Amino acid sequence: MTEGHTEQSIVIAAPYEEVWRQTNDVDAWPHLFSEYAQAEILEKTGDTVTFRLSMHPDENGTVWSWVSQRTLDKESGTVRAHRVETGPFEFMDIVWTYHEVEGGTELRWVQDFRMKPQAPVDTAGMTARINTNSALQLALIRGRVQERAALTAV
Domain range for residue 84? 4-27+71-153
pLDDT, one tens digit per residue, over 77-113 is 999 999 999 989 999 999 999 999 999 999 999 999 9
**Integer Cα distance of 98 and 60 in angstroms:** 36
pTM: 0.93
Q: Return the CATH number at 141.
A: 3.30.530.20
Q: Is residue 107 part of a domain?
A: yes
Q: Is residue 134 part of a domain?
A: yes
pLDDT of residue 77: 98
What type of residue sits at position 142? R
Q: Is residue 106 part of a domain?
A: yes
Q: In this structure, what is the dihedral angle of CA atoms 141, 147, 153, 154, given to the nearest 10 degrees?
A: -170
pLDDT of residue 58: 84
- Dmax (CA) of the chain: 52
pLDDT of residue 73: 98
Q: Is residue 85 part of a domain?
A: yes
Q: Is residue 40 part of a domain?
A: no
Which pLDDT tens digits describe the chain residue by residue (154 residues)?
Answer: 689 999 999 999 999 999 999 999 999 999 999 999 999 999 999 999 999 999 998 888 888 899 999 999 999 999 999 999 998 999 999 999 999 999 999 999 999 999 999 998 999 999 999 999 999 999 999 999 999 998 887 6
Helix or strand run (H / E) with residue 58: none
Q: Is residue 39 part of a domain?
A: no
Asked whether the beta carbons of 37 and 54 are under 8 A apart, the reply is yes
Find how far residue 102's CA is from the centre of its chain: 23
Q: Is residue 96 part of a domain?
A: yes
pLDDT of residue 1: 63
| Number of domains observed in the structure of the chain | 1
The angle that helices 123-153 and 16-23 make with each other, rounded to 10 degrees, is 120
